[in-house]
Amino acid sequence: MSTAMEGLGRDAGSASYLLPRGLRVNLGCGPVMPKNWMNVDGSRRAWLMAHGAGLDRLLVRLKLLRATAFRPGIVHHDLRRPLPWANDSVAAIYAGEVWEHLEYEDARRLTNECRRVLMKGGVLRLCVPDGVEFWENYLTIFREEQALEPAKRHVERLHSHVRMYFDDICTRPPGLKSFGHFHKWQYDEVQLVDLCTRSGFKDVGRQAFGVSRIPDIGVLERSNFLIVEGVKP
Ligand SMILES: C[S@@+](CC[C@H](N)C(=O)[O-])C[C@H]1O[C@@H](n2cnc3c(N)ncnc32)[C@H](O)[C@@H]1O
């Protein structure tokens, strides 16, 4: 874990936290659909699986669609719309690599919605790519290459980093790819902690991969990215 983690709002007592009992929701689940969680996604394929799993299977058999990791039971919901749960009714919300797929204003509204639906003591945990790490890597490659004589440089290393930014992160038009594929914002610890705090969460802080107030976080957390957790007061 990066040194930026150390001592920065990390809650050493996470493991002993008593999470309220109740519904646990995995927002923007993609292919990660653990049992005992309500798995929610807004993609077209999630819609098909939620409304016509038989038709999905048929289209796969006819080779008109590729097999999907979505399973029946998935809840289709566009996270830009209000969450479909009552106030104070949800025990935990996890979102892995999702908030960066929303415009900042949509993410702000959604974070507020998470506070609304969580019960007192309920936990919101967000995992997003770390903008700081991305640009630090860019600067490291740049400095390594700059230190070489021009004829010995590997410009493709920089091309590849820049390509990742434009192809996967922001500006290329989506075309036929899912609307949720492209990143629309880039976070760092300061922004993400601020977002959760301003939305009314308490004890907001960066957390290590796998360390959480949510006991079974291991069943759905896949990326050791920037992770921030907060508690509904
Ligand atoms: C990078 S995937 C992350 C999947 C999974 N959570 C993980 O940790 O690997 C982002 C997911 O967010 C979903 N998504 C993006 N924008 C969304 C929106 N507005 N509403 C609902 N789901 C959305 C996409 O369909 C996609 O499945």
> Do 81 and 175 sit in the same domain of this protein?
no
- Spatial distance between the Cα atoms of 76 and 28, rounded to a whole number of angstroms: 9
Q: How many domains does the chain have?
A: 2
pLDDT at 119 over 90: yes
- Is 141 within a domain? yes
> Do 29 and 124 sit in the same domain of this protein?
yes
- Is 53 within a domain? no
The DSSP code for 209 is T
Instruction: Tell which residue, 179, 152, 147, has the closest CA to residue 45.
Output: 179
Phi, psi of 219 (to 5 degrees): -80, -15
> Do 110 and 145 sit in the same domain of this protein?
no
In 3-state terms the chain splits into helix, strand, coil percentages (rounded to 5) of 35, 20, 45
38-53 average pLDDT score: 93
- Is 144 within a domain? yes
For residue 2, the CA-to-ligand 1 centroid distance in Å is: 26
Task: Flag the least confident range among 31-35, 85-89, 91-95, 174-178.
Answer: 174-178
Q: Which ligand 1 atom sits nearest the alpha carbon of residue 106?
A: 19
> Do 172 and 107 sit in the same domain of this protein?
no
- Is 125 within a domain? yes
Long-range contacts of 47-51 (CB under 8 A, 24+ apart): 47/76, 49/74, 49/76, 50/74, 50/75, 50/76, 51/76
> Do 100 and 142 sit in the same domain of this protein?
no
Tokens of 18: 């008593």
Task: Write down the mean pLDDT value for the chain.
Answer: 90
- Spatial distance between the Cα atoms of 144 and 161, rounded to a whole number of angstroms: 14
Order of strands, sheet of 226-231, starting from the edge strand that comes earlier in the sequence: 75-76, 38-41, 23-27, 90-96, 118-128, 226-231, 202-206
> Do 169 and 217 sit in the same domain of this protein?
no
Output the residue whose Cα is nearest ligand 1's atom 27: 30
* pLDDT tens digits, 139-175: 999 999 999 999 999 999 999 999 888 877 765 555 6
> Do 189 and 199 sit in the same domain of this protein?
yes
> Do 94 and 120 sit in the same domain of this protein?
yes
Q: Which ligand 1 atom sits nearest the alpha carbon of residue 95?
A: 6
- Spatial distance between the Cα atoms of 24 and 3, rounded to a whole number of angstroms: 31
Q: Which ligand 1 atom sits nearest the alpha carbon of residue 79?
A: 20
Please list every protein residue whose CB sits less than 6 Å from any atom of ligand 1: 28-30, 32, 41-43, 78-80, 96-98, 101-102, 178, 180, 222
- Is 18 within a domain? yes
- Spatial distance between the Cα atoms of 6 and 29, rounded to a whole number of angstroms: 29
> Do 7 and 19 sit in the same domain of this protein?
yes
Output the residue whose Cα is nearest ligand 1's atom 16: 180
What is the SS3 assignment for 134-151? Answer: HHHHHHHHHHHHHCCCHH
Q: Which domain holds residue 86?
A: 3-42+77-129+184-231
> Do 9 and 121 sit in the same domain of this protein?
yes
> Do 114 and 157 sit in the same domain of this protein?
no
> Do 125 and 225 sit in the same domain of this protein?
yes
- Is 50 within a domain? no
The pLDDT score that the predictor gives to residue 175 is: 61
- Is 57 within a domain? no
For residue 142, the CA-to-ligand 1 centroid distance in Å is: 31
CATH number of the domain bearing residue 16: 3.40.50.150
